[in-house]
């Protein structure tokens, strides 16, 4: 096991996120789900009404094309239905099926069990992660992306 005490926080977060995603994918593979699919189904389920593909992508914070690939997999498993928008034929309207509702409820239980085993206080971890996301979402310009001359770096 590597000495993680010296790892920067960003590395800890990204490694933990990757491992949680791999764990999810392993547990949900038999149902044809991936971590991305669960997130899309969760958004649809909580919305309680059909949504455009673009709106789902925006809520999940991915590109529309990326969401399209995820939705194609969900549609192949009959977890969602897609049809052209009546107001804009280029836009897809997505609705969750009864089977999709069943599988998202099962996936939520998987989520609870993965972090309950891993984190001593899963609720505290969730609150801390929500705070990080909220802070960085509101202040996206807090890091500088301007190039500096070599030797004049501020890290």
Domain with 73 in it: what CATH number?
1.10.10.10
* Claim: this prediction has a pTM higher than 0.85: no
Burial tier of 74 (Cβ tally within 10 Å: 0-12, 13-18, 19+): buried
In a domain, 141, yes or no: no
In a domain, 34, yes or no: yes
Question: Residue 151 has what pLDDT?
Answer: 55
In a domain, 129, yes or no: no
79, 100 Cβ separation under 8 angstroms: yes
In a domain, 21, yes or no: yes
Beta bridge partners of 96: 80
In a domain, 41, yes or no: yes
Question: Residue 71 has what pLDDT?
Answer: 96
Looking at the 3D structure of the chain, how many domains does it have? 1
Question: Residue 55 has what pLDDT?
Answer: 94
In a domain, 144, yes or no: no
In a domain, 115, yes or no: yes
Domain range for 92: 15-119
In a domain, 5, yes or no: no
Does the CA dihedral 131-124-44-21 come out positive or negative? positive
Mean pLDDT for each 10-residue chunk of the chain (155 residues)? 83 86 82 90 96 94 92 96 88 95 90 66 75 79 50 51
Question: Residue 60 has what pLDDT?
Answer: 92
């Amino acid at each position: 096991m590597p000495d993680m005490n010296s790892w920067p926080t960003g590395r800890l977060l990204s490694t933990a996120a990757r491992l949680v995603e791999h764990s999810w994918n392993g547990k949900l593979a038999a149902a044809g789900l991936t971590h991305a699919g669960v997130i899309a189904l969760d958004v649809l389920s909580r919305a309680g009404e059909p949504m455009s593909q673009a709106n789902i992508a925006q809520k999940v914070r991915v590109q529309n094309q990326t969401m399209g690939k995820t939705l194609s997999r969900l549609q192949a498993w009959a977890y969602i239905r897609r049809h052209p928008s009546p107001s804009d034929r280029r836009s897809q309207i997505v609705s969750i099926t009864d089977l999709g509702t069943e599988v998202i409820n099962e996936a939520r239980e998987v989520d609870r069990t993965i972090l309950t085993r891993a984190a001593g206080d899963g609720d505290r971890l969730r609150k801390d992660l929500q705070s990080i996301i909220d802070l960085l979402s509101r202040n996206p310009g807090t890091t500088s992306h301007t190039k500096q001359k070599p030797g004049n770096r501020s890290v």
